[in-house]
């Protein structure tokens, strides 16, 4: 039986699968509670062999128009990425792919790899063996790009973060950059020029690179519903813009606050996207990776949808993707989403797991069940073109210089000494190698 025959088989989701529960909790101090968890046990699908895919990782059969670069396309009711060869592509990636050669990882790095080049070759092969097809945010692009057998990758710029540091309005917060008064200085003089300069310096070498999927402009910018009130008190060009917005409108109302949030992010996405496309006119603009506060703020999705090709979301707080979130995000933006961070932490890792945003479970096998449950929910939505697990390697508890959210948590697919979490990775491979048959199965259900 060929892999093409496998795709033509009538595959249906099991109708009477027994509900599985996984003990989980939002934080270590909470009580365990069983969470309904969908896994591959609920489906009768077979994995596809490597020859079923293009060199970029898209499906080799039923190709769409090949543009030579990644793009997005809605086919029927489902959104896809289309790879440079025309293959339908769902972006199953891992964040923070970088060679770690300090502290706990130093000795095993030298013993296992010895050089960045060797690390890159072995790591990309390892990821492919587990069904991953791309490099997510915060990966070491300079180390990954020269690989003899490359893998699709992304670039994370940090345009607003860099500009904020330049003008002295940023500070460190757990997991992301903080801004004075939680206000992004998008209207301050020099932001557009800063974006243009950064994009020319950092992206020009990638202009003709088909392996570059696209660019993240920033990560987890503050989104405050009272942004208008804050900016009216901020001073400088920021306050002047808020006052101009309010001219002739009278008192501040909730409707005006919502309208102003969209106004601010429309300016942000317009300036950053224009700067990126001036250098990379044929690659995807993936926006600033949204996080928790963005889930229910329609204005930021409407603004992003106007300028971005796909909209990125770091998605925590929920054991399973919420159907209403995925539906609303698409209705507001008109664009597909890309889940750019999610993870769960295992208590059998030996780590305290007191930091970080992800759920806590008992075992690595439970982490694997979570991965299957979450990604199946994303595939069901038809509006999600991929996901990035956060992250490649566990935090090193001995590294006191790292971000406070990355001190002692089991986030990685490897521990801090390059030892794989095999039960987790087995479950990831099983899901990743069945993405296209699963989509066929899910789309067949009316």
Give tens-digit pLDDT for 200-255: 999 999 999 999 999 999 999 999 999 999 999 999 999 999 999 999 999 999 99
> What pLDDT is attached to residue 8?
58
Tens digits of per-residue pLDDT, 298-334?
999 999 999 999 999 999 999 999 999 999 999 999 9
Please report the DSSP string for 194-206 in residue order.
HHHHHHHHHHGGG
Domains contained in the chain, CATH given: 9-47+89-444 (3.20.20.80)
Cβ 129 vs Cβ 173: under 8 Å: no
Tens digits of per-residue pLDDT, 370-425?
999 999 999 999 999 999 999 999 988 888 777 777 778 999 999 999 999 999 99
d(CA 47, CA 438): 9
Strand pairing category for 88-89 and 78-82: antiparallel
> What pLDDT is attached to residue 174?
78
d(CA 64, CA 85): 8
> What pLDDT is attached to residue 16?
47
Tens digits of per-residue pLDDT, 93-148?
999 999 987 888 999 999 999 999 999 999 999 999 999 999 999 999 999 999 99
Phi and psi, residue 262, nearest 5°:
-65, -40
> What pLDDT is attached to residue 9?
56
For 160-190, b/e burial (b = at least 16 CB within 10 A) is: bbbbbeeeebbeeeebbbbbbbebbbbbbee
For 280-308, b/e burial (b = at least 16 CB within 10 A) is: beebbbbbbbbbeebbebbbbbbbbbbbb
User: Nearest CA to 94 among 128, 50, 143?
Assistant: 128
Q: Which residue has the tokens 């945003």?
A: 357
Q: Is 74 helix (H, G, I), strand (E, B) or coil?
A: strand
d(CA 432, CA 40): 11
Could you give the angle at the alpha carbon of 229 between the alpha carbons of 227 and 230, nearest 5°? Answer: 65
pLDDT of 430 above 60? yes
* N residues, the chain: 446
* Cβ neighbours for 213, distance < 8 A, ≥ 6 positions apart: 70, 81, 91, 134, 152, 153, 154, 283, 284, 286
Cβ 299 vs Cβ 262: under 8 Å: yes
Least confident range from 74-83, 119-128, 175-184, 382-391: namely: 175-184
Q: How large a percentage of the chain has pLDDT more than 90?
A: 89
Q: Share the mean pLDDT of the chain.
A: 95
Band of pLDDT at residue 436, cut at 50, 70 and 90: very high
Band of pLDDT at residue 6, cut at 50, 70 and 90: low
């Amino acid at each position: 039986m060929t892999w093409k025959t496998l795709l033509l088989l009538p595959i249906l989701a099991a109708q009477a699968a027994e509900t599985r529960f996984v003990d989980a909790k939002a934080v270590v101090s909470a009580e365990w509670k069983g969470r309904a968890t969908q896994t591959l046990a609920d489906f009768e699908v077979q994995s596809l062999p490597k020859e079923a895919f293009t060199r970029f990782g898209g499906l080799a059969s039923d190709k769409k128009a090949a543009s030579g670069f990644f793009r997005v396309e809605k086919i029927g009711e489902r959104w896809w990425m289309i790879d440079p060869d025309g293959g339908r592509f769902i972006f199953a990636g891992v964040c923070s792919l970088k060679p770690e050669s300090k502290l706990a990882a130093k000795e095993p790095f030298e013993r296992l790899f010895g050089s960045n080049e060797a690390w890159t070759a072995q790591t990309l092969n390892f990821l492919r063996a587990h069904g991953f097809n791309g490099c997510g945010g915060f990966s070491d692009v300079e180390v990954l790009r020269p690989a003899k057998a490359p893998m699709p990758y992304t670039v994370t710029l940090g345009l607003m973060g860099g500009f904020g540091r330049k003008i002295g309005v940023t500070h460190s917060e757990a997991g992301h950059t903080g801004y004075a008064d939680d206000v992004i200085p998008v209207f301050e003089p020099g932001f557009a020029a800063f974006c243009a300069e950064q994009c020319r310096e950092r992206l020009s070498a990638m202009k003709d690179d088909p392996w570059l999927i696209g660019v993240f402009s920033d990560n987890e910018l503050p989104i405050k519903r009272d942004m208008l009130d804050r900016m009216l008190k901020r001073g400088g060009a920021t306050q002047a813009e808020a006052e101009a917005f309010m001219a002739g409108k009278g008192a501040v109302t909730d409707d005006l606050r919502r309208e102003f949030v969209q106004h601010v992010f429309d300016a942000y996405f317009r300036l950053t996207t224009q700067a990126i496309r001036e250098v990379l006119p044929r690659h995807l603009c993936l926006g600033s990776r949204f996080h928790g506060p963005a889930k229910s703020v329609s204005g930021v999705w409407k603004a992003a949808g106007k300028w971005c090709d796909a909209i990125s979301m770091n998605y925590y707080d929920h054991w399973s993707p919420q159907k209403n979130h995925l539906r609303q995000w698409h209705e507001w933006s008109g664009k597909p989403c890309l889940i750019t961070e999610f993870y769960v932490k295992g208590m059998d890792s030996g780590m305290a797991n007191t930091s970080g945003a992800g759920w806590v479970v008992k075992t690595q096998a439970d982490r694997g069940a979570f991965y299957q449950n979450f990604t199946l929910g994303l595939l069901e939505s038809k509006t999600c073109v991929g996901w990035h697990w956060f992250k490649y390697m566990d935090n090193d508890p001995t590294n006191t210089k790292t971000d406070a959210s990355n001190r002692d948590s089991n986030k990685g697919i490897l521990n801090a000494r390059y030892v794989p979490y095999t039960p987790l990775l087995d479950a990831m491979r099983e899901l990743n190698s069945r993405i296209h048959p699963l989509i066929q199965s899910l789309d067949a259900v009316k």
